[in-house]
Amino acid sequence: MQEAHNAQTGTARTPTGARAEAADTAVQSTPSAPSGSGQRAPRASMPRAPRSPRTSAGRHGTIGEVAGICITSARRVIDVDSGTRKLDLVRYYARAAPWLLPQLRDRPVSLVRAPQGFDGELFFQRHSARAPIPEVTQHEGLDPGHPPVLTIDSLEALVHVAQMDAIELHTWNAVTADIEAPDRIVLDLDPDPVLDWERMIEAAQLTRAMLADLGLDAFCKTSGGKGLHIVVPLVPGANWEDAKAFARAVAQRLASGWPTQFTATMGSEHRKKKIFVDYLRNVRAACTAVAYGVRARPGMGVSVPITWDELADTTGGAQWTLANIDARLAHVKRADPWASYARVRQSISSELTLRLEQGGA
């Protein structure tokens, strides 16, 4: 949805536009530490905290430890609305690692970092910085003209990323081993805030039905923000232009078929009392908030996969937050809503795109 797009192109909550580009340029301005494709950054030489909490002389009190990694400024409040501390976020990411890591592993990731919490500056990091994050894998040459892209492939890397004040994790639609062949399509359903949630449920069901008519299975997750993400797994084969053209055709077909409900045109003036179908998640280097990832906004919403049968019972894009996510994880442990995702074998083609462009579904 729009907030995922905003992480690259502009909102007050997630730094974007000129501000994001300035932050990204600052991160990239100094050459990164030497690394080959797939090279993991070494562990930092910071001392490990003892197993029991100890008190430091730092402004924010105790230093914590998660997965054997020292967490500094552990008591810093990052979200005043919920009272969430940095340590709470890091502990969540460690608990959620069994579900998060399959979504992150081998996918280039961008980070929304908040060194001073939500009240301070947020910045978007797409590439390796001068001081690499320990345990995070660097991939040289996958984004020509830029420092290495990053992947989070282990619990240690995930905890180190959170220790470095990353809140949001956004992933590409391709894996590093086949970076030019997207393995999913993401349709970001971004509602006008005045709309009732029932309109979002209906929009997701209509999108699913259109994709089913094309012979495509789709999966749904809350965004952790305002809306829903519809994810279409693919067998790699199409290129980035194919993926964008198909996603655009779906968005435009929804907008033409249900003009009072959908728009395929970006901008708040086009989205009044409508849902924007953001298809721009499907260009090279674009990314989307990861499933089970936290959003950098008051309340600390979490993006959570659901089954289609659960959709009608949802109440909002940020239905799950850090305050109630553990009950959902317990449910997912018993019954994974996306259990069949990895078994789906399907692809898109120019014929499918043309069929949509000609008004078929």
Which tens digit of pLDDT belongs to each residue from 197-211? 999 999 999 999 999
- Helix, strand, or coil (residue 39): strand
Tokens 């949509």 correspond to 356
Higher pLDDT, 7 or 188: 188
Residue 42: pLDDT band by 50, 70, 90 thresholds?
low
Closest CA to 28 of 168, 125, 111, 143: 125
What is the tens place of the pLDDT at every residue in 164-180?
A: 999 999 999 999 999 99
* pTM of the predicted structure, to 2 decimals: 0.85
* Nearest-5° Cα angle at 272, 361 to 11: 100
- The rounded mean pLDDT for the chain is 87
Which domains, ranges and CATH numbers included, belong to the chain?
2-178 (no CATH), 184-357 (3.90.920.10)
Rounded distance between C-alpha atoms, residue 287 and residue 292, angstroms: 15
Closest CA to 28 of 36, 38, 20: 20
Tokens 């230093």 correspond to 63
Segment holding 276, helix H or strand E: strand 275-278
Is residue 286 within 8 A of residue 173, CB to CB? The reply is yes
Tokens 């976020």 correspond to 89
Percent of the chain with pLDDT over 70: 83
